[in-house]
Each structure stands twice: as C-alpha cells, then as structure tokens.
Amino acid sequence: MTTNVQAQPQAAQKITSLPPALILIAGWLIPGAGHLLLKKWTRGLLLFISIVAMFGIGLALKGKVYSPNTAELLDMLNFAGDIGAGLLYIVARAFDLGQSAVQVAIADYGTKFIVVAGLLNIIAAVDAHSLATGRKAS
C-alpha cells in the first residue's frame, strides 16, 4: 500500500540581509544595481550594458525624451517608460539630451529604444526585489 503525498512548493530563500526596498530603488536608479547588490554579477552587468546601450542608441538616433508636463495620453505613457530608466533619464533631462520633437523618421525608432530601456529597467528592478524577498528563486 502506497500513500500519495503531494509535494508542497517551497518558498525561495532570502539571499541578502539588505532591505528589499533598497534593492528595488537601487535597481531602478542604476540599471542592474539591484542584482549587483545581490551578488548576481553576470545578470547585473548584462542588464547594465543592455539598458545603457539601448538608452544610448535611442539618443544617438535622435529619439525624444519625454517630459512630465503633457496632457496627451500616449505622451504620458511614454514618459512613464522613460522615467523607468532611473538616473539615465535624470541625466538626459539635466543635460537636455533627446529631441523635443521627432524630426526625422529614424528618430521614432530612437524614441522606442529609450522607452523600452526604461521598461526593461523596471522589470529588472522588480526581479531583483523578488529575489531579495525570497519570492523568486535565483
């Protein structure tokens, strides 16, 4: 006679003593920093290189960096994506990088690169937070 015991899913272990909120904020401010604080060196460096390269390519293609004071829905959504890049966005706005309006056809691609870099950074920061809280196994 055999008993059928169902295995319970085990929660992942916390891998740091740092506060998860610090991991989240660091990961948002500096791409890959949350993973670097968790000693996930390869993942952190790949995220840093990817996000900074995407943001830089977007600027090189004359992409638009959105400002928060607009009333159009799509501009607000693009701003939310841009702000996800953390310090990259802050530096771009401080040095007036990025075009105020799309002037050439290729600039639209640049704008999308900038927005996607910010969205990827948000996903990476949340991933680092999930690792720090133990909700996700590495």
Q: What pLDDT, in 10s, does the model give residues 18-62? A: 999 999 999 999 999 999 999 999 999 999 999 999 999 999 999
HSE on the CB side for 120, CA within 13 Å? 20
Q: Could you tell me the two tokens for 56?
A: 């830089």
Token couple for 5:
């015991």
Which pTM value belongs to this model? 0.86
Which stretch of DSSP H or E encloses residue 88? helix 87-94
Query: What percent of the chain shows pLDDT beyond 70?
Result: 89
Which helix (DSSP H) or strand (DSSP E) does residue 109 occupy? Answer: helix 105-133
95-132, pLDDT tens digit by residue? Answer: 999 877 777 888 899 999 999 999 999 999 999 999 99
**Given a cut of 80, is residue 6 above it in pLDDT?**
no
